[in-house]
Amino acid sequence: MIAATLLSFVVLGAVAAISRGLNLVNHARMITLSSQVLQSAVEDMRLKNYAQVSAYAAQTQPVNFTSTITTELLNSDFTRTMTLEARFTTVHASSTTELGLIAMEITISWTESGVPFTRSARTSFSEKGLSDYIYVGF
């Protein structure tokens, strides 16, 4: 009887540890996937010219890019809960004496077990090209 009770505690502990481990693996998968989607979105923006980016800056902010997740190869069961949006801010308007500069912060959000998560990347666009970008926070 004591051995059976002890064995049941060991088995229940192992099941709980496996369950927690699977949740952690899923969370790691979602962080990796969100980073890939974010990087893909930044690279897609890199292909646009300054006039296209300034058109985004003229729109109501934030600009929703969630449809790019579902229309590209990024569509999966994992990305169905993700939303992708960007905020464009004109830092310097284009003039004869100064090049135009637009800052962009792109954010991906998703929910796991009712808990919201986000990742962000920031970059700047000038009339002469795209500067480096950095990832910010989880």
Q: Where are the domains of the chain?
A: 2-136
Q: What does the alpha-carbon distance between residue 138 and residue 26 come to, in Å, rounded to a whole number? A: 15
* pLDDT recorded at residue 17: 87
CA distances from 69 to 63, 73, 85, 132 (A): 14, 8, 11, 23
Whether the Cβ atoms of residue 69 and residue 37 lie closer than 8 Å to each other: yes
Total-model pTM = 0.75
Mean pLDDT of the region 94-118:
88
Question: Which tens digits make up the pLDDT trace of 2-38?
Answer: 888 888 888 888 888 888 888 889 889 889 988 888 8
Answer for the pair 132, 41: CB distance below 8 angstroms, yes or no: no
Are 138 and 120 in contact, with CB atoms under 8 Å apart?
no
